């Protein structure tokens, strides 16, 4: 697929408001690769997206200022367009400038569909958890099969080193997020993608800042289901009753289900797994009771077994035999910020994980526990997501952390709820901190050779990973 074919003719440049978000950063990379002039601005700039964009020659400007859009007002540059991220709101100076000057603008998801996805075989990966990991697995399987897929993923797969690329075939893998599209389009992002192959990994209540309840999220997933063609495929988690509720609202597409439970019945229908190692690092794959092969890799946990099964199923729909997909997963390297080992000092390992929901926290800790044996796990949590900050999951947060031996919770400014209940439930093994440097000092003093320091946040967390490693080195 040529760059000329990838994007609409006549569009010479774009400016992205909120460019350092994982999705909007991916849009920037795709447009840059297609030969479009790309600039962008943001207020929250931190790795890995900021460094990735800079390495690809994308011009990033600090702050969201109207003067960055001056070129888009001039008569001879009317073909330029402003891409507005969903963090932009009415009342922001730059947004009012776009509207008052009658600049051409659109949302990221709409731009993606019109310029990249419209004539391609879209494989969309959705669900509350595991989207980034599963989409990365799927893109890698297609790459391993020689299919040169395009992709846009909300993270940086280690196998590719970038979060997005155009690719050279009809196949395009997209992480399909249920979050809203823009201030002027309150539909979920994923309704813009028109997938032929759809994965729904799981479904729980999240994004409490925009969804009043779980039923509202199910409605958006139902809208997505309505867009999958009858000759397509929907891959769903057979263990998830909420996903089944969405299917029961109406489905016009063939379905393949998967289950990552340790299969005792090899006659089970759909995609199932039989664990050869309890930590999920080695397991057999079955489809409709027929053995397909053995996945042996470096990933851990039941959740990653689920991710693998759904990726294998989706890739098979695109023409990759299951055996070939299984072979490909042996070379899957993982994703930055998904149980990423940031360093090891004095036999103490520091991991970074994006976990920001109690279920993700629990599955991450259980996966690490299965591998860590009797080693001490020190969990360091920043409740940074909008849902966490609102306290929506405060009743389930303590239970999700119980697998850790020691829990250190950072309390950011502006938290809308009191953490005392969480601390009381966890008892003596939990502590609350409002200063990152103080937290680092306590964590380093608590850690001994063989221990694991697991940092969980969906933000930069004040550079805590490097601070931990530096502090550990100073104790040598």
CA 51 distance to own-chain centroid: 18
For 424-459, what is each residue's pLDDT tens digit?
778 888 888 888 899 999 888 888 888 889 888 876
Q: 137 with 194, same domain?
A: yes
Q: How far is residue 271 from each of residues 68, 290, 457, measured CA to CA in Å?
A: 51, 9, 32
Q: 470 with 425, same domain?
A: yes
Q: 235 with 290, same domain?
A: yes
Number of domains in the chain: 3
Residue 1 counted as domain residue: no
Q: 351 with 299, same domain?
A: no
Residue 334 counted as domain residue: no
Q: 123 with 193, same domain?
A: yes
Q: 222 with 367, same domain?
A: no
| Predicted TM-score (pTM) of this structure | 0.76
What CATH number did the domain enclosing 129 receive?
A: 3.40.1190.10
Domain membership of residue 257 as a residue range? 119-329
Strand blocks (E) in 69-223 = 81-84, 105-107, 121-126, 150-152, 164-165, 171-175, 180-182, 185-188, 197-200
Q: Where are the alpha helices (DSSP H) in 83-168?
A: 93-100, 108-112, 131-144
CA 76 distance to own-chain centroid: 39
**Which residue numbers in the chain have pLDDT < 50?**
4, 8-10, 75-77
Q: Which of 299, 329, 359 is the last residue of a domain?
A: 329
Q: 95 with 181, same domain?
A: no
Q: 289 with 438, same domain?
A: no
Q: What is the pLDDT of residue 286?
A: 95
Q: What is the pLDDT of residue 324?
A: 97
Q: 100 with 137, same domain?
A: no
Q: What percent of the chain has pLDDT over 70?
A: 88
Q: Which of 288, 310, 329 is the last residue of a domain?
A: 329
Integer Cα distance of 80 and 178 in angstroms: 28
Q: Which of 329, 360, 380 is the last residue of a domain?
A: 329
Q: 467 with 375, same domain?
A: yes
Instruction: Tell me the DSSP string of 270-316.
Output: SEEEEESSTTSSEEEEEETTEEEEEEE-S--SHHHHHHHHHHHHHHH
Q: 159 with 282, same domain?
A: yes
């Amino acid at each position: 697929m040529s760059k000329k074919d990838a994007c609409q003719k006549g569009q010479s440049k774009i400016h992205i408001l909120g460019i350092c978000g994982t999705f909007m950063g991916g849009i920037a990379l795709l447009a840059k690769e297609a030969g479009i002039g790309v600039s962008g601005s943001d207020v929250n700039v931190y790795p890995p997206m900021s460094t990735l964009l800079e390495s690809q020659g994308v011009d990033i400007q600090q702050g969201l200022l109207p003067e960055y859009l001056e070129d888009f007002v001039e008569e001879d540059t009317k073909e330029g367009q402003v891409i507005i991220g969903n963090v932009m709101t009415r009342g922001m100076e730059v947004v009012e400038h776009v509207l008052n000057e009658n600049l051409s603008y659109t949302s990221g998801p709409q731009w993606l569909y019109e310029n990249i996805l419209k004539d391609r075989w879209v494989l969309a990966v959705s669900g509350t958890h595991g989207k980034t990991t599963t989409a990365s697995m799927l893109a890698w399987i297609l790459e391993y099969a020689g299919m040169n897929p395009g992709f846009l993923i909300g993270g940086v797969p280690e196998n590719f080193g970038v979060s997005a690329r155009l690719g050279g075939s009809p196949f395009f893998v997209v992480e399909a997020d249920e979050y809203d599209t823009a201030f002027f389009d309150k539909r979920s992002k994923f309704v813009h993608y028109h997938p032929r192959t759809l994965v729904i990994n799981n479904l729980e209540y999240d994004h409490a800042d925009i969804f009043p309840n779980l039923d509202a999220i199910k409605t958006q997933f139902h809208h997505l289901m309505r867009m999958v063609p009858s000759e397509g495929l929907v891959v769903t988690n057979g263990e998830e009753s909420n996903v089944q509720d969405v299917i029961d609202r109406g489905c016009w597409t063939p379905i393949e289900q998967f289950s990552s439970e340790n299969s005792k019945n090899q006659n089970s229908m759909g995609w199932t797994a039989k664990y050869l190692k309890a930590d999920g690092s080695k397991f057999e794959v079955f489809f409709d009771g027929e053995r397909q092969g053995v996945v042996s890799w470096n990933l851990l946990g039941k959740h990653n077994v689920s991710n693998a099964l759904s990726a294998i199923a989706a890739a098979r729909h695109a023409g990759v035999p299951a055996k070939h997909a299984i072979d490909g997963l042996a070379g899957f390297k993982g994703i930055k910020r998904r149980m990423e080992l940031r360093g090891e000092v004095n036999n103490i390992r520091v991991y970074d994980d994006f976990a920001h929901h109690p279920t993700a926290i629990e599955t991450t800790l259980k996966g690490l526990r299965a591998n860590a044996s009797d080693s001490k796990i020190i969990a360091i949590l920043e409740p940074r997501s909008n849902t966490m900050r609102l306290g929506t999951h405060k009743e389930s947060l303590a239970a999700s952390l119980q697998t850790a031996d020691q829990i250190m919770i950072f309390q950011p400014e502006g938290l809308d709820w009191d953490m005392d209940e969480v601390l009381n439930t966890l008892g003596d093994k939990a502590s609350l901190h409002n200063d990152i440097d103080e937290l680092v000092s306590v964590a380093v003093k608590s850690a001994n050779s063989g221990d694991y320091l697991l940092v969980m946040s969906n933000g930069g967390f004040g550079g805590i990973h490097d601070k931990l490693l530096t502090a550990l080195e100073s104790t040598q």
